[in-house]
Amino acid sequence: MYNNKTFIYLTLITASLTITLTACSTLQPTQPQSYHQLTWPKRLAQLKNLNKWSLRGSFSIHYANRTDIASYQWQQNHENYQIKISSPLNLVHLDLYGNKQQITLQKSAHEIYTATTPEELLAQQVGWELPIANLVYWIKGMPAPESYYKIKLDSYNHLVALKQQGWLVNYPAFTEMNGIDLPHTINLENPQLKIRMVVKEWKNL
């Protein structure tokens, strides 16, 4: 059981982390006048062709009356990916890497786990049900190709709302990388949890 001093300390940490994440969300998304006007088929084709990239950012995940905050780095090379996740005070520090055949999660040199899906590994080892297989597509601002979806587009034909596989995904802001408009902020929600992702930097590999 926490004493009063410990409770106050943890409360201050939580407040500080919340302020930090909020500050990240204001990192200069591209202004609308700089957006690229494309038809949706052309924008979708552009995003499909973007298959070697890296990004870094932060996210919050709210579930079961608690909120976790972490930073992440994601590198994608066609079907292969590596995601590094670390939370404040190193409460969570892991590498998640793999492809459609096998996923590996490494917490330390002596803690290495494998599974056939990233969702299974994260749920077992961290308690997070992050839709990684779909996020490979969603994080670029496009629906996953293998299941039914509904979309809403803005006047520039950016994807601004997506319903797919029980998730509602919203895109409040976009940024630009090498002439491609990409999400700056992503909000994901299903009946069990809410996730807010902020992308600080996109890079084309």
Q: Which domain CATH number covers 182?
A: 2.50.20.10
For residue 123, being part of any structural domain is answered with no
Cβ neighbours of 141 (radius 10 Å):
23
Domain that holds residue 172: 4-68+129-204
Please report whether residue 21 resides in a domain. yes
Is residue 176 domain-resident? Answer: yes
Task: Count CB neighbours of 168 within 10 A.
Answer: 14
How far is it, in rounded angstroms, from Cα 201 to Cα 63? 26
* Spatial distance between the Cα atoms of 61 and 59, rounded to a whole number of angstroms: 7
Total of domains in the chain: 1
Beta bridge partners of 58: 71, 198
- Are 126 and 94 within 8 A, CB to CB? yes
Residue 107, domain member (yes or no): no
pLDDT of residue 149: 97
86 inside domain: no
How is residue 178 written in tokens?
């090498």
pLDDT tens sequence for the chain (205 residues): 434 433 333 333 344 444 344 434 344 565 666 788 999 999 999 999 999 999 999 999 998 888 989 999 999 999 999 999 998 766 678 999 998 888 999 988 889 999 889 998 988 888 888 899 999 999 999 999 989 999 999 999 999 999 999 999 999 999 999 999 999 999 999 999 999 999 999 999 8
Q: Is 43 a domain residue? A: yes
Look at the alpha carbons of 132, 136, 138, 140 in this order and tell me if their dihedral is positive or negative: positive
Distances (CA, A) of 117 to 36, 80, 131, 169, 202: 35, 13, 10, 21, 25
For residue 110, is it within any domain?
Answer: no
CA distance linking residue 152 with residue 193, whole number of Å: 22
Q: What is the pLDDT of residue 110?
A: 86
pTM: 0.82
Domain-located, residue 191: yes
CA distance 119 to 129: 6
Which two structure tokens, joined as six digits, stand for 176? 């630009």
